[in-house]
Chain A
Amino acid sequence: QKEVEQNSGPLSVPEGAIASLNCTYSDRGSQSFFWYRQYSGKSPELIMSIYSNGDKEDGRFTAQLNKASQYVSLLIRDSQPSDSATYLCALYNNNDMRFGAGTRLTVKP
């Protein structure tokens, strides 16, 4: 089992819809969780961090963390074509940062 599991996609949603990205992980000791966005040929860009169970909202983005079920998700409301990118889930534990393989999101106009 991979340590950080993401559906590789592609996930395709129409403009204005909600995009839901999911990530599961195996390390129960994971302390911090992050979502990065990576456009093709560019570097990862941090868009959300979440440290405790529940929801965290920032603009059109909402991160959800459930440590008991070992999953973290990212919701993107009112999706825009500019949101088309690969979204990387990452988690931190004990001086180590682990990234998922990423989910490719396409938002169609």
Chain B
Amino acid sequence: DAGVIQSPRHEVTEMGQEVTLRCKPISGHNSLFWYRQTMMRGLELLIYFNNNVPIDDSGMPEDRFSAKMPNASFSTLKIQPSEPRDSAVYFCASSYTGINEQFFGPGTRLTVL
């Protein structure tokens, strides 16, 4: 299995631009998670999907952030408009069932100038 796949691996954009991060979970996993990691705040759970349905999005920092999971093999995290404080590494993770043993993707390093 290829593991969790994320794209792009690096993204540099300017403030105000729209950013879309993509994730393909491990085949057969029915739970998907988006995290953000910064030096200041550590690893934070943004949103959690189970069977393609958002279960908890209380970690999404603002309305500028949105996430979708149109099918079991694809999810997006969108930031519009982006701001410099959104600069972080964004991880996607998946698990077989619920918040249990999660497998992380390689991450997307986002830099907003």
Contacts and interface: CB of A to CB of B under 8 A. Distances in A.
Interface of A: 32, 34, 42-46, 49, 88, 92, 95-102
Given A43-B106, A43-B107, A88 B43 contact: yes
Nearest to B99: A92
Q: Summarize B's interface: helix, strand, loop or mixed.
A: strand
A96 B43 CA distance: 13
Given A43-B91, A95-B48, A96-B56, A101 B42 contact: yes
Nearest to B39: A101
B105 A97 contact: no
Nearest to A2: B42
A68 B93 CA distance: 30
Interface residues of B, number: 20
A95 B43 contact: no
Contacts of B60: none
26 contacts: A32-B100, A34-B101, A42-B106, A43-B105, A43-B106, A43-B107, A44-B91, A44-B104, A45-B104, A46-B101, A46-B102, A46-B103, A49-B100, A49-B101, A88-B43, A92-B100, A95-B55, A95-B56, A96-B45, A96-B56, A96-B58, A96-B59, A96-B99, A99-B42, A99-B44, A101-B42
B43 to A, nearest CB: 4
Nearest to B48: A95
Contacts of A96: 45, 56, 58-59, 99
- Chain B CB count within 10 A is highest, among A32, A43, A45, for A43
Contacts, number: 42
Contacts of B105: 43
Contacts of B48: 95, 97
- Chain B CB count within 10 A is highest, among A45, A46, A49, A98, for A46
A30 to B, nearest CB: 11
B69 to A, nearest CB: 16
Contact of B42 (A45, A97, A100): A100
A78 B43 CA distance: 28
Contacts of B101: 34, 46, 49
